[in-house]
Amino acid sequence: MPKSDTASAAVTHDLPPEIFKAYDIRGIVGKTLTPSIVEVIGQALGSEARGQNQKRFVIGRDGRLSGPELVAALSRGIARSGCDVVDIGMVPTPVVYFAIHHLGAGSGVAVTGSHNPPEYNGLKMVLAGETLSGQAIQELRARLMANEIVRGQGKITQLDVRSAYIDRIVGETLASNWAMLSLARKAGAVVAGFAETAVEFGGIDILVNSAGIAGPTAAVTELKLEDWHRTIAINLNGTFFTNRAVVPHMVAQNYGRIVNIASIAGKEGNPNAVPYSAAKAGVIGLTKAVAKEVATQGVLVNAVAPAVIETPILSQVSAEHIAYMTSRIPMGRVGKPEEVAALVAFLCSPDLTFSTGAVYDISGGRATY
């Protein structure tokens, strides 16, 4: 049965109700979210867990400076309820969810401010395999206010699960593509790279897909099959691989900005550039489809469709083709890399809030639709 805890009761008098949000507990560090508040929340969460026969928690944090102190307080509170804590350190939120399953813990907390300003931090909670939200979070607050706290003494340990997470992600990617082993190896390499990046830096907020090749300059009847496959593989498959790998990380943190570099050729088609035009049209369709899938999950996905830009890729095409593309531009010149960069920077910024699945032209007036 729950027992009264005098220290917990004292803190609940200063417990701000506004930190108990719909999907997490979140507040301003040092003001509405202090270590003492987080500690009693931890004890209440552990008490709730004990009532559901849960006795082990996984805790991970993002890279915010307040994270270590709040994790320590949360761990103390959970341990005071009699539950054990496994601290997996600074990791992306998906790694916390992985560790809960991988370690058979059943419950866990990601200490993360998500996309909020740096003065914020918060708790995303899983209890007995279910993410706490809505009424369940309010019931946790009610337990605190009623001081229905269980006391005990759990253990706090540290464990690094990053290698196990990367191995699992890469293994699943390879297994799901066994019939196309070469493609799966490439996809697996991309997934591994993103997983390692997310683990190293505590998350991934921005993805810009800008790698590509021009492909051959030739009529469709003169194209070699290998040139078609190579252009599609780099320009379209590469964009698919990176979007597929990064979206789970962004969805888990409820924030992300993806910019896929397409081309005016993907909208209008350039003669003697069939593989390139087809690949970039595919990038536009992919962008619109992915954007709709994640539109309500904090992830905005857009494409940029430049006309000819003064970059090294021009060395891959003939002077005649460059002249043709430039002749289609009303402003009468090629674009500059910094002009594209300025547009991409905006699309990657928090200032972008209500645009997704769009194609932003930067074509000197060539495209007007």
Residues serving a catalytic function are 276
- CA atoms of 88 and 59, how far apart (whole Å): 6
Q: What is the CA radius of gyration of the chain?
A: 25
Q: How far apart are CA 314 and CA 308, in angstroms?
A: 8
């000197």: which residue's tokens? 364
Task: Using DSSP, state whether 297 is helix, strand or coil.
Answer: coil
Select from 361, 357, 340, 115 the least CA-distant residue to 258.
Answer: 357
Q: Which residues of 164-177 are buried (b: 16+ CB within 10 A; e: fewer)?
A: ebbeebbeebeeeb
Handedness of CA 165, 171, 176, 182 (dihedral sign): positive
As a whole number of angstroms, the distance between CA 77 and CA 144 comes to: 12
Tokens 């706090």, located at residue:
156
- Burial zone of 204 (CB within 10 Å; 0-12 exposed, 13-18 middle, 19+ buried): buried
CA angle 266, 269, 274 (to 5 degrees): 95
The CB density around residue 143, as the number of other CB atoms within 10 Å, is 21
The identity of residue 181, as a single letter, is: L
Query: What is the b/e burial string over 21-55, where b = at least 16 CB atoms within 10 angstroms of the residue's CB?
Result: eeebbbbbbeebbbbebbbbbbbbbbbbbbeeebb
- State phi, psi for 129 to the nearest 5 degrees: 85, 0
At 313, give phi and psi (nearest 5°).
-65, -20
